[in-house]
Chain A
Amino acid sequence: MKPAAFDFTAARSVDEALAVLSQYGDEAKVIAGGQTLGPMLNMRLLMPQVLLDINGIESLAGASRSDAGLRLGAATRQADLEDDPDLAASQPLVAAAIPYIAHRAIRNRGTVGGSLAHADPAAEWGALVHALDAELVITGADGTRSVAPEDFFVGILTTAVEPEELLVEVRLPAWPQGAGWSFVEFSRRHGDFALGGVACRLRLDAERRCMDVRLGLIGLGDTPQRARDAEDVLVGESAGPELWRAAAEAAARGIEPMTDLHASADYRRQLTRVLVADALAQAAERASPGVED
């Protein structure tokens, strides 16, 4: 379990990084925290010609907060975000989800952008960007573009980021006043990739009818996904267990889960029913009915 030989280059700016990527294309691999890439190199599942280190690019590191929301540099460490004392107030859903991301030792090195760019279908950020209506900012030689989550995830471990491009930023809109949230997931052990997980953000009007519901699912298909069928069931309807059950049923119908060693597709469908209903109940409890932006 030793990697094949590779060249190593550390970029100090996004332009330098793009220059390397345009030269090597597929033959280059970007390394930030290396929490997935490291093992893949050791197991020789990947044998790139060049490893491009972006840890030294200052503009990619850290978060900045404004009225518009939270901008996360792609190389922001999960642990730095976790330790941000204002996170729970400004982005409660992110704060709720981070403890589920592997283990602290991995969060110390792992980055937000690295997780998203790797696009494991069960990675927590996949659910978060859907539920938070995030924008993913990609830069290449031809300029910078902003992509919605539903366009970002293309397939298993595949994203809209081209080999010559770099994911540079994740933009999370400001948290809507009065919104409720929840993050639930199920794994056989704490810290493992989830067999299924749900991120939920919703608001309730003064009559406790659901508004602005967003549900992000992970581990339940080839990519993280938005449970639009379930959202359609919910909007305008009165909060309560019966509605949750109906929405969860719609979510379970709307997915094509995989069978693997740890869970069958049928089990994952059942899990979807449970997790979506749990997530909705929790989020509704945290919402402040009738509070508008």
Chain B
Amino acid sequence: MTERDDTRVIGRAVPRLEDPDLLRGAARFVDDVDCPGLLHAAVLRSAYAHGRLGSLDVSAARAMPGVAAVLTHEEIGGRLRPIPIRLCPDPALNDYLQRPLAADRVRYVGEPLALVVAESRARAEDAMGEIDYDIDPLPACTDAMAPPPAALFEQAPDNLAALDEQSFGDVAGAFAEADHVVRSRFESGRHSGIPMETRGLVADYDDDQQRLHIWGSTKVTHFNRGVLAAMLDWPEERIHLAQTEVGGGFGVRGEFYPEDFLVPFAALTLGRPVKWIEDRMEHLAATNHSRQQYYELELALRNDGRLLGLRARITNDMGAYLRTHGTIVPGLSAGMLPGPYRLDSYHCEARAVLTNKTPTGTYRAPGRFECNAARERLMDLAAAELGIDRVELRRRNLLTPADMPYERGTHILGEEVIYDSGDYPAALERALTLSDWQRRGARPASADGRRRRGLGLACFVEKTGKGPYEGARVRLEADGSVTVATGAASVGQGLQTCLAQIAAEVLGVAPGAVTVHHGDTDLIGYGVGTFASRATVMAGSAVQEAASELRRGLLEHAAARLGVPAERLALSRGGLRLDGAPRMSLAELMAGDGCDDNGPPPSEAEHRFELDHMTYSYGVTVAEVEVDVLTGAVRPRHVWIACDVGRVINPRIVAGQIEGGAAQGVGGALLEAFQYDEEGQLLTGSFQEYLLPTSCDVPPIAFELMEDTPSTLNPLGVKGWARSASPAWAARWPMRWPRRSATRSSRLRRCR
């Protein structure tokens, strides 16, 4: 191996730096945080979906030994302000925001009514049992597609919180000249991210420092600090959000939820530290749901398969309030529905409808899981209608490298959709090869005809790397080790390892010599966070730029000190090299010799990486499933994925993302669904009803990482994958198609 090869660390399957602590049980999660005098909180939640809140009698609970406080809307009063929208805020949506506690009206089962604080969680639960409250029930709205039996808010008698329209081209003309029009309706179930570790918070007010310390907030710590400061009327500097290890995020964890106000407020009010750990049943009712969307689609085609126009109406069941994501999820669906295909014209109406269910937010590939499934199913229906092979129909319509960069004509998250680079037809061909599509497609049914097999296929584009900025500070310590600080957050996805690899490559050290600090508001004063598959793109680019600046400064310093041109120097293998030969260690470089006028070497550089436009990864998923036509059992047999995630930092971590996404895909397609009865009671309140896939349910997953089209938008050429679930929905929905192609009698779930 050449020297050059083994000093490259980007692109290598470096073992995760996070794992030794995790595997030894040495990692510190929020429930591991302990403070002297710690109190424990439990949230009393509404058992009714919709009604007016009458009396709320907490006197008996308050009088119980071991109970420190019972906080209701009466105590907190004016400070129960609406939790603001984080992404794409719009004053028109402010009527539908949630306050941390219900004051006069409840709108979903699980809505917080009071916070009980006691010496133990068990005691707090005892006290909850002693609280009496009256709800004067109103009809529950549980079907976003039906005329509502009641209005959740006076401002929206029809429960329509927002309507977003997007269009390009001449849709009416397209349908007028079409040879074929294919119409269909699709429905996606209500799901949520179910991290192994539920949410949790510890808040502790430090009297000496006059500061409030909070552990357990993740994902968007700086934003959450700002929200809390505004709600408490406190200066931001007096609030410190520190990150712990996190047992999974998937988009749902770390947003500002009611508890993110209630728990710190209780700690301040009581002058004692307070811990709240969400239990699993709370999680299923309180943490954001997602994905319940309805599609009404019309596709106009020419005889040769050309896509002339697409008309869409998307209805998103938002649940009872708009949370921190506002209405971005239906917006993402509307903007991404056209996908990887050339399309002459498009009109989409995206409706955000309020219902008496748990409020919704983002969950792994929000809006795209749903819209890609609907579009790909529509493509299959169109192929059948036209008598064109479904692969061929896609081939004829996929955008090509010659189209790049491609202005899609839609917008998402407040920016134009511009596909930066990609070879979509190549991804399709690779997926067909990888899955041996031709041979498998010809495979006959089982001998007795009872078990039948079918293949599904989905093409997708995935948006990643949301701006506007992320920062990083890179510091070379006196001992030659490197420290990186960023405002992006780890949600267990391997962020530390990836950022360490990037810094290590630039500074010529081993990844293990790099320590990454993240998600702590005291370590870096600003940060956007971890969502939208942005952390590696944004923070990774910031680290790359900061480390490069530091390297330039170090080499200039060394050149002056040694009296040689900087071009003859390099940082490699943990030291300074002159003409390729070791010259001094980094520690020696940092120590300086003090004999010249050169001054001390630079030790730190900070870079704020900014980006106007997202970068788009893409891929194709194929799934083979088997159906038992007597029991209806559907068994996924294999999943194949070809995807281009731009430049790969760590293939092992990408593999983990792909496999995890596919597993969640199996869950969403076949097992997971929140269900409510007509009174708005959540029927899937535990893991006995909300079924997650286990290792027995997930088939073998084979994938091929293409690095054909590095992103042109950042110095690393990376595209997002850190939380990308592109394969998730793609794996998910093909699962459904073969149910039809394999057995005519098994019907898809569709809305009527």
Contacts and interface: CB of A to CB of B under 8 A. Distances in A.
Interface of A: 1-5, 43-44, 186, 188-193, 261-262, 267, 270-271, 274
Interface in B698-751: none
A3 B631 contact: no
Given A5-B122, A44-B129, A274-B630, 16 more contacts: A1-B280, A2-B120, A2-B121, A2-B125, A4-B122, A5-B126, A43-B281, A186-B633, A188-B691, A189-B691, A189-B693, A190-B696, A193-B688, A261-B675, A261-B683, A267-B632
A190 B279 contact: no
Interface in B118-154: 120-122, 125-126, 129
Contact of A1 (B281, B671, B683): B281
B405 to A, nearest CB: 44
Contacts of B689: 261-262
Among A5, A43, A186, A261, residue most surrounded by chain B Cβ atoms (within 10 Å) = A261
22 contacts: A1-B125, A1-B279, A1-B280, A1-B281, A2-B120, A2-B121, A4-B126, A5-B122, A44-B125, A186-B631, A186-B633, A188-B691, A189-B691, A189-B693, A189-B694, A190-B696, A190-B697, A192-B691, A261-B684, A262-B689, A267-B632, A271-B631
B737 to A, nearest CB: 20
B671 A191 contact: no
B671 A189 contact: yes
A2 B691 contact: no
The SS class assigned to the B binding surface is loop
B744 to A, nearest CB: 17
Contacts of A271: 631
Contacts of B126: 4-5
A111 to B, nearest CB: 20
Q: Which 6 A-B pairs have the closest CB atoms?
A: A2-B122, A1-B279, A190-B696, A274-B630, A2-B121, A261-B689
A191 B692 CA distance: 12
Please indicate which of the listed interface residues A1, A43, A44 has the most CB atoms of chain B within 10 Å of its own CB: A1
A4 B127 CA distance: 11
Interface string B625-642: 000001111000000000
Q: How large is the interface on B (under 10, 10 to 19, 20 to 34, 35 or more residues)?
A: 20 to 34
A273 to B, nearest CB: 8
B671 A188 contact: yes
Interface of B: 120-122, 125-126, 129, 279-281, 630-633, 671, 675, 683-684, 686, 688-689, 691, 693-694, 696-697
Contacts of A3: 122
Given A4-B122, A261-B689, A189 B633 contact: no
A191 B125 contact: no
A267 B121 CA distance: 42
A189 B697 contact: yes
A36 to B, nearest CB: 11
A191 B280 contact: no
Contacts of B686: 43
B694 A190 contact: yes
Contacts of B281: 1, 43
A235 to B, nearest CB: 26
Contacts of A2: 120-122, 125
A282 to B, nearest CB: 14
A186 B635 CA distance: 13
A104 to B, nearest CB: 12
Nearest to A192: B691
A43 B694 CA distance: 23
A193 B689 CA distance: 11
Contacts of A261: 675, 683-684, 689
A189 B689 CA distance: 12
A270 B684 CA distance: 24
Please indicate which of the listed interface residues A2, A43, A192 has the most CB atoms of chain B within 10 Å of its own CB.
Answer: A2
A274 B450 CA distance: 11
Contacts of B631: 186, 270-271, 274
Contacts of B694: 189-191
Contacts of A44: 125, 129
Contacts of B684: 261
B701 to A, nearest CB: 18
Nearest to A277: B630
A189 B696 contact: yes
B609 to A, nearest CB: 43
Nearest to B42: A2
Nearest to A273: B630
Contacts of A1: 125, 279-281
Contacts of A4: 122, 125-126
B423 to A, nearest CB: 38
Contacts of A5: 122, 126
A43 B691 CA distance: 19
Given A261-B675, A274-B631, A191 B696 contact: yes
A261 B681 CA distance: 13
Nearest to B280: A1
A106 B684 CA distance: 22
Contacts of B691: 188-189, 192
A261 B682 CA distance: 11
Contacts of B630: 270, 274
A293 B129 CA distance: 61
A203 to B, nearest CB: 26
A167 to B, nearest CB: 24
A251 B311 CA distance: 51
Contacts of A190: 694, 696-697
Contacts of B280: 1
Nearest to A186: B631
B699 to A, nearest CB: 13
Contacts of B693: 189
A123 to B, nearest CB: 14
B216 to A, nearest CB: 18
Contacts of A270: 630-631
Contacts of B675: 261
Contacts of A192: 691
Nearest to B683: A261
A267 B632 CA distance: 10
Nearest to A190: B696
Nearest to B684: A261
